Structure 1
Amino acid sequence: MTSIRTRPGFSVMETLVAVALLAIAIIPLYAFQQTLANTAARLQTASDLLDAQESALAVLQTIDPIAQPTGDMDLGEWRLSWESRELASESPADGYLGSSIWGVGLYEVQATLERGETRRDLTIRRVGWIQINDPTRP
């Protein structure tokens, strides 16, 4: 009687089942990786916008709404434009020592940041002042 010798290892059917199970397990992992990549891209876009907003606010804090009521400038890849409108003014400003040589006003500055299809509107309030009286004249 002859005995059938078998070798240790996987049969073709076992190998095919293992490959099918591996493919089924990899599909959700691929979808999860895609979700992570999309989230990372959105976070990068939000971070870029936040950096641009911080830069825009720093620039807007330095402008004089009386001398530069409108304007625009480049901030790297972003374009900043602004327009000011007067909300209130006092000319000359009165203080505890009497009338001042300065006229002051409260301005609303509406700014827009743009880069390609992305647009962000910002609104801040600024105080502007201008010398209206000559301090050397009585």
Structure 2
Amino acid sequence: MINDFAGARFAFAKLIVNNLDRSAAFYRTVCEYGEGQWVEADLAGRPIAEVIFRKPEGGMELAILAYLDGTTSAAGDVTIAFDTADLDAFEHRLVAAGGTIVAPIKALEFGGNSLRIAFYRDIDGYLLEVMER
């Protein structure tokens, strides 16, 4: 039982990608993740491989998954939010790694907080919302 909580709490999301090595390299470069935990398994009768990127304190932060049976999957409508201490540097790494800018960096006041925010697409078409608080 997780913290005596009987309901459900969001734990993580898995992005289904077509090229696991390429996507893992993208997220390692852009988010400065380490190597990640590589796993091969069977999911509903289909062989898969996935990479699990963890937070420094141990919790899962992002998982990406690819089917190994030769079929491809389309990227779904998912927005992934990231916090960063340096949005300009994040954007530079993202563009250099093949990502694209959807909405440029802008200052935003939200709920009494000042932040800078921008939206990007990763190399598989997933939308990234990135905030510098």
Structure-2-length-normalised TM-score: 0.32
- Higher strand proportion (structure 1 or 2): 2
The structure with more helix, counted as a fraction of residues: 1
The structure with the larger Rg is: 1
